[in-house]
Structure 1
Amino acid sequence: MNRLLRSGLTLLAAALLAAAVQAQSAAPTKKRPAAKAAAPATGPLYATRPEVLRAADDIAARRDLDREWVRQAIGQARLLPQVQRLMTPAPTGTPKNWRVYRSRFVEPIRIRAGLRFWQEHREALARAERDYGVPAEIIVGIVGVESIYGQQMGGFSVIDAVTTLAFDFPRAHPRAAERSAFFLGELEQLLSLSDRTGVDPHSWRGSYAGAMGMPQFMPSSWVRYAVDFDGDGRVDLFNSVDDVIGSVANYFKAFGWKSGMPATYPVGFAAQADMDTLLAPDILPSFSVESFTAKGAVLQGEALAHAGPLALVELQNGAEAPQYVAGTENFYVITRYNWSSYYAMAVLELGRAVREALDR
């Protein structure tokens, strides 16, 4: 789109600001599914904030985007108080509970939906496994946990959400400055994606954190990892299941997924296990099998022949005893999608449950 035409469209967008903007996909011939959730309450426009407009000018200069178009796009974003509330961290000391967390994701509705998804898209899943080395059950687990296979993709305005989190991230968060910088980068990527695809930046809908489509990709992940797996010349993570499957597989391959490697092994403990040392690296695989077992971790069977590093993953259960697994490099790759061992285990167990249903 040339600059004169884009400037003209900017003026038209301003004249139509009072009208509701309908969600649309990256191609005008396909309709993006309408959000089921009611639109959240909004605050003031960001056009009244000088520091926001200065940031818009910086984005425009660095990305070679039309300055007025970027100012208009960001300036017409609104603060979302609900997004701020959802990003506020839980009170210190709130216990984690793996059994409760698991029950939200590994349950009959998702398993049945996952079974239909696998049956209907068996060919694309098999092709992604061949091309990228990522098992179908991992892809099925991701899409099921993220959006129940497209049933829940979020109803928030993505540009409102990421602008809110870039400039008004909750100060109570211990990493507020770091997170604000992250979301400023996501805002920049969203605008670049919108410019390149010709999509109105205010039309994208997603989660309160700005994640979009069936796989809930952040704008930067869409730009870097999304692929045209159905070969129609465009990437559509809202409507093309093939694109979704290929993009998730490509994401995992990019982060180092190792074909044929298990994500976890069962683990037990000797009486004098050095739990503090074993847990110190958290989910980062840091121990060889020899050093892992020397610290008191007990492995059996194929785990004893594992060639790469391991981590001791702790899954707390509130007041009850925690559960543990030995996590491999592939387990760590799953946490690159969402930095949480609980999330990674839910993906693994949902995918496994769907595969078992498929095999029955």
Structure 2
Amino acid sequence: MRSSLSTRHQPVRAAALALLAACAAGLATQAAAQPRPAVKAVVGSTPYATRDDAMRFADEVAARRGLDRQWVRATIGGARFLPNVPRLMLPGPVGTVKNWQVYRSRFIDATRIAAGVRFWRANADLLARAEATYGVPPEIVVGIVGVETIYGRNMGNFRVIDALATLAFDFPQGHPRAAERQAFFRGELESFLSTESRTADDPMVPLGSYAGAMGMPQFMPSSIAKYAVDFDGDGRIDLVNNTADVIGSVASYFKAFGWQPGMPAIYPVRFDESRLRKDILLAPDILPSFSADSFVAAGAVPDGEGQRHRGLLALIELQNGANAAPTYVAGTRNFYVITRYNWSSYYAMSVLDLGNEIKAAMGYAPAPQPVLAPAPAPLRSQPRLDAQPMPLPLQSTPTEPTASQPLPPASSPRQPMPLPQ
């Protein structure tokens, strides 16, 4: 199978390689679409051909992958440092307060909803087939592609080779996980150079995000290699222009990370203050860790079907700035799976809300009530006899994954989006 995100190169002559390295500096980094985020790819003056560490890495990649050594050296050597990219990777200042309402407003608007309706109508058969094949409903796929790129409108204007090389060799050392993240991007650069992960015959051409994500769904190179599919059977995988492959690949990704067909991703939740143990409920972060019974026993009461949920739940806290109370929902395994696409509960909620708004606009469901305000007023009940409740164990149920079907790991090939202040 040939892939426009996965093409096989042939060894080329040394003269051609030298020409490639020399000309790489002159390639434009102009976008076919608007960037995401709204920053320009500012290119530095020094190619990585002058860096000993970059050339050593090129030799290691060539040996591990069985690639032509001179081709790998010329490709990495032709990459340029992007001085604005490392700054984009740094976390916000300590004490920065997140704001779910501001974050949501960036992604849930009339423009995206209208574009999502057009995308759904144009690809209804493909979305239905993806759900039948992978168990992932259309609103999730449509929500992902809408949040990521507005259905291909904003796929990024950074040359991928430049972005990945910059983060592989010049990741900001002020980041609290600099060594781990730099190793991650070196792996992505290696994957990009492999036969499974390049977007075109010439690796200097593909454009993407400042983190090196590509196409309508913004897949990282390793995700393309692992999860992208040729959903229309034309013999190639194209995540830039082929909506069939985009839809199938997003659904394939979610299935691989453990999406459960038919399971809601969230439930509304109310608090019983007489027994509320928010410290216990928030301790596992967004990892589903509590049975419905233990969730209620700790003072968090899901609405409706949530009280009969047979899997595990997590209490999801969404901050609303410094002057408003947080919003809370009960997250299921499927909510956690969405965060494997991007490590952010705010991102996952935006995907859910956008998908549901589009679904309602299609006439498939009532208009959703956005989760914007703080949690409803707490339930009032009789005080518990035990003034100091015992810590609740992280309980499992027979319906949850076993060793043969674990929850996805707490790592992800996606790069988190910055949260608003």
TM-score normalised by structure 1 residue count: 0.93
Deviations 1:222-273 (A, max 9, x none): 1111101111100000000010000000000000000000000111111130
Unaligned runs of at least 5 residues, structure 2: 1-7, 365-421
Deviations 1:118-141 (A, max 9, x none): 011111111101111000000000
Is 2:325 the counterpart of 1:321?
yes
Change (3 A) 1:36 1:323: closer
Structure holding more helix per residue? 1
State the distance in 2 between where 1:54 and 1:14 align. 16
Is 2:206 the counterpart of 1:204?
yes
Q: Specify the code of the residue in structure 2 equivalent to 1:286.
A: S
Please report how far the alpha carbon of residue 291 of structure 1 lies from its aligned counterpart in structure 2 after TM superposition. Answer: 1.2
* Residue in 2 that maps onto 1:288: 291
- Answer whether contact 2:116 2:142 (CA < 8 A) is retained: yes
Is 2:27 the counterpart of 1:34?
no
State the distance in 2 between where 1:2 and 1:189 align. 14
Change (3 A) 1:337 1:297: same
1:5 counterpart SS class: coil
- Answer whether contact 2:24 2:79 (CA < 8 A) is retained: no
* Residue in 2 that maps onto 1:30: none
Percent identity of the aligned residues? Answer: 62
1:131 aligned residue (130, 133, 158): 133
Is 2:74 the counterpart of 1:72?
yes
Please report how far the alpha carbon of residue 89 of structure 1 lies from its aligned counterpart in structure 2 after TM superposition. Answer: 1.5
1:126 counterpart SS class: helix
- Answer whether contact 2:107 2:350 (CA < 8 A) is retained: yes
* Residue in 1 that maps onto 2:236: 234
2:20 aligned residue (13, 18, 30): 13
* Residue in 2 that maps onto 1:26: none
State the distance in 2 between where 1:301 and 1:184 align. 47
Change (3 A) 1:42 1:226: same
Please report how far the alpha carbon of residue 43 of structure 1 lies from its aligned counterpart in structure 2 after TM superposition. Answer: 3.9
1:130 counterpart SS class: helix
Q: Greater CA deviation, 69-78 or 182-191?
A: 69-78
1:81 counterpart SS class: coil
Please report how far the alpha carbon of residue 87 of structure 1 lies from its aligned counterpart in structure 2 after TM superposition. Answer: 1.1
TM-score normalised by structure 2 residue count: 0.80
- Answer whether contact 2:140 2:351 (CA < 8 A) is retained: yes
Please report how far the alpha carbon of residue 18 of structure 1 lies from its aligned counterpart in structure 2 after TM superposition. Answer: 5.4
Please report how far the alpha carbon of residue 194 of structure 1 lies from its aligned counterpart in structure 2 after TM superposition. Answer: 6.7
Please report how far the alpha carbon of residue 198 of structure 1 lies from its aligned counterpart in structure 2 after TM superposition. Answer: 5.8
2:136 counterpart SS class: coil
State the distance in 1 between where 2:41 and 2:176 align. 29
2:105 counterpart SS class: helix
1:254 aligned residue (253, 256, 274): 256
1:324 counterpart SS class: strand
* Residue in 2 that maps onto 1:49: 51
Deviations 1:135-173 (A, max 9, x none): 000000000000000000000011111111111111111
State the distance in 1 between where 2:72 and 2:27 align. 20
Unaligned runs of at least 5 residues, structure 1: 24-32
Please report how far the alpha carbon of residue 102 of structure 1 lies from its aligned counterpart in structure 2 after TM superposition. Answer: 0.3
State the distance in 1 between where 2:70 and 2:197 align. 13
* Residue in 2 that maps onto 1:359: 363
Please report how far the alpha carbon of residue 193 of structure 1 lies from its aligned counterpart in structure 2 after TM superposition. Answer: 3.8
Q: Specify the code of the residue in structure 2 equivalent to 1:117.
A: F
State the distance in 1 between where 2:358 and 2:346 align. 18
* Residue in 1 that maps onto 2:170: 168
Change (3 A) 1:108 1:18: same
State the distance in 1 between where 2:14 and 2:41 align. 28
Q: How many residues align?
A: 351
2:142 counterpart SS class: helix
State the distance in 1 between where 2:363 and 2:228 align. 30
Change (3 A) 1:22 1:315: closer
